[in-house]
Structure formats: structure tokens, C-alpha cells
Amino acid sequence: MKIALCSTYVPFLYGGARNIVEWLQEMLEREGHQVERIYLPQVDTADRLCTQMAALRSIDLSAADRVICFRPQAHLIRHPHKILWFIHHIRVFYDMWDSPYRGFPDDASHRSVRAALLAADNAALREAKAVFTNSRVVSERLRQFNGIDSEVLYPPVFASERFHCRGFNDEIVYICRLEHHKRQHLLVEAMAHTNTPVRLRLCGASSGSEYPRELSAQIERLGLQDKVVLDVRWIAEEEKVELLADCLAAAYLPVDEDSYGYPSVEASHAAKAVLTTDDAGGVLELVSDGVNGYVLPPDPAALGAAMDRLYSDRALASRLGAAARARLDELNISWTHVLKRLLE
């Protein structure tokens, strides 16, 4: 089958939105399909959205037998056999409209762009032969905002057998892009509340230099230079495997994120407990408090206490980690299941 994988991207920014496309391409090609990966640059600003949406609408992919669309607004592409693996809306015009992350005024101009976006999304979503999402959170938003039913299809990681547990050192690791909404700063503050020699390692690239500078200043201000490692760079897959093999546990605590996030799944494959918060969004579909990790209020003292518990009780860390690995099977997170659903 000739399959076109279509998504949008922000140039020079790498993360899970690219992984889901590129890993799926690899799995499809292993099954003998001919695959074209099509990335379209998009800037989610009000003054550019309508022009970009019109351009997407004009793309001709009639040479493909099937089109699978991911990041918005790729779903605007027309095709008689369009499948959506919908990973999020342009959230500032949807669930984040009344949040501090909107970044522009609630005025007539922006409300008109929002209305146009909603109308375009409603039309394009209904053209799809099937709509899948990456989490219950995203499925609920599609139902709430667009009146669209969808099926949750959890994205696996590539070559999950790479991840393994070698032991439990003193470090909680947070391997993720360094961005304010990922809240690495919350864990740094939590470290000031710990009473054990537990350590924290924050590592990942960033879309800018401001937030890493803020984290560095915070670490110095709290006198945590000997307990917190801040490693601002892209972490290669091989190094990620090594860090997760030895760490005490992993952390992932974004603000109301669309999905469980690859950092949580990778840690679970390595049989490591996941530390998160009760407002993290899709992460809560994977992590249950006291079962395969800790789900806590976004409170530094509570997070610090959980880190101390894991440090003081390695048998507990091991038990939670084993449950994290088992949870992946419970949710049927596998490429076999993904290919079966996308290709039916």
C-alpha cells in the first residue's frame, strides 16, 4: 500500500510529535508498505493560521492509497481515505483559551480567527474515515469542542526492548525538553524540601535559552549545585536508555498535557516508577498513585517527600517500577495493535 504520513512541525524543534510519525514510518516499511513522510512547517499565530490552512487544503495526495494525519492542521488535507491519529488541537484556541498560555488578547479579531479555525476543524475532522487519538484527554476534547467520537490508540515507543532496568542509583531523572510548561522548576524547588541524599538530573534541549537560565539561577539560589544536574542538550536515544537503566525513578510533570508523554512510557519500559502530578493530564492514564509511581499535588514539599520515600526504600522503588512495566501490557501499548487499527 502507498501511505502518506502527514504532519506539521516547528522547524528546528524536535520532540514526540516527530517521533510518532517517524517511528510509524519505520514500522510500516517493515511490513512492506511504501511510505512518504510529509512535514509541513506551521506557526500557530493568528495572523498566519488562515493562510496556512488554505495551503493545506490545496495539497494533492491522490497518488497515495491512504493518508494518515497527526499534528494540526495536517488533518485539513483532503483525501478519500484519510485516517487521523489526532494528537492535539491548536490548544490556545481551544482548551487553553482562558489560560495564561494564550498569549494574545480575547478581542474581536482573535475571536474571529478562533471561529474560523473551529469551522475548518469541524469540516475536516468529519471527512476522515477513522479518527484515533493518543489519549482519553484528547478524545474528550474532540467530543467537547467538535462533537467528534474517536478511539484512543496509545503511541508506543520505538524498539521498546532497548529499555531495561540495571539497578537503582540515587537519581530521579527527568529526560524531556526544558520548557516552562514541563515544570522542571517544580522539581528543583522540591529538592529543597528533601531530607535524604536523593539527587535530581534534568536533561534535554530547549526551544530557547531563557528557561534553562532560570533553572540554573534557581539551582544556585537554593544552594542545590551538588544535588541537581542540569544538562541542556539533546539526549541521544542510547544515552537515554543508559540513564533510565540505572536511575532511582523518573519524573514527568507537565501542565495538563495531551498524552502520557514518551518520557513516562520509556521509564515504564525500564521498570522505573514515574513521579507526576494530579494536573498533568494524559500522564494520569498511565500512572496510578502508589501503584506504579506517585501522583501528587503540584506542591514542592509533597514531591520532595515522595523523592525521599523512593530513596529510603529501594524495594518500594523496584516494586513500583515492576508495576509500571506491567501497566504497558494492560493498556495494549504495542506496534502490533497500532498497525492493526490504522490499516483496517
Residue entry with cell 512495566: 325
Alpha helices in the chain (DSSP H): 16-30, 46-57, 108-127, 136-141, 184-191, 210-221, 237-246, 262-269, 300-312, 314-330, 335-343
Question: What is the average pLDDT across 276-302?
Answer: 97
Q: Cβ distance 182 to 210 under 8 Å?
A: no
Query: pLDDT class for 308, splitting at 50, 70, 90?
Result: very high
Query: pLDDT class for 286, splitting at 50, 70, 90?
Result: very high
User: What burial class does residue 337 get, using C-beta atoms within 10 Å of its C-beta: 0-12 exposed, 13-18 middle, 19+ buried?
Assistant: middle
pLDDT tens-digit series, residues 311-329:
999 999 999 999 999 999 9
Give all domains of the chain, ordered by start, each with its CATH number.
2-153 (3.40.50), 160-330 (3.40.50.2000)
pTM for this model (two decimals): 0.86
How many whole angstroms separate alpha carbon 276 and alpha carbon 264? 9
pLDDT tens-digit series, residues 198-252:
999 999 999 899 999 999 999 999 999 999 999 999 999 999 999 999 999 999 9
Q: Cα-flanking dihedrals φ and ψ of residue 234, to 5°?
A: -70, 130
Q: Cβ distance 79 to 67 under 8 Å?
A: yes
The pLDDT, as a whole number, for residue 283 is 95
Question: What is the average pLDDT across 31-46?
Answer: 91
The pLDDT, as a whole number, for residue 42 is 84
Grid cell for residue 136: 482519553
The pLDDT, as a whole number, for residue 46 is 80
User: What burial class does residue 65 get, using C-beta atoms within 10 Å of its C-beta: 0-12 exposed, 13-18 middle, 19+ buried?
Assistant: middle
**pLDDT > 90: percent of the chain:** 87
Q: Cβ distance 282 to 138 under 8 Å?
A: yes
How many whole angstroms separate alpha carbon 155 and alpha carbon 28? 14
Q: Cβ distance 65 to 81 under 8 Å?
A: yes
- In three-state secondary structure terms, 234 is coil
Residue entry with cell 469541524: 122
The pLDDT, as a whole number, for residue 13 is 72
How many whole angstroms separate alpha carbon 171 and alpha carbon 80? 51
The pLDDT, as a whole number, for residue 17 is 83
Q: How far is CA 42 from CA 57, 128, 214, 255, in A?
A: 14, 21, 28, 23
For the CA atoms of 313, 318, 321, 326, what is the dihedral angle to 10 degrees? -140
Query: pLDDT class for 63, splitting at 50, 70, 90?
Result: very high
pLDDT averaged over the chain?
Answer: 95
Question: What is the average pLDDT across 75-95?
Answer: 95
The pLDDT, as a whole number, for residue 191 is 98
Q: Cα-flanking dihedrals φ and ψ of residue 208, to 5°?
A: -155, 180
The pLDDT, as a whole number, for residue 275 is 98
Q: Give the residues across from 201 on adjacent strands.
A: 173, 229
CA 22 to chain centre: 15
Q: Is pLDDT at 102 greater than 80 in this prediction?
A: yes
The pLDDT, as a whole number, for residue 284 is 96
Grid cell for residue 7: 504532519
Q: Is pLDDT at 49 greater than 90 in this prediction?
A: no
CA 152 to chain centre: 15
Query: pLDDT class for 259, splitting at 50, 70, 90?
Result: confident
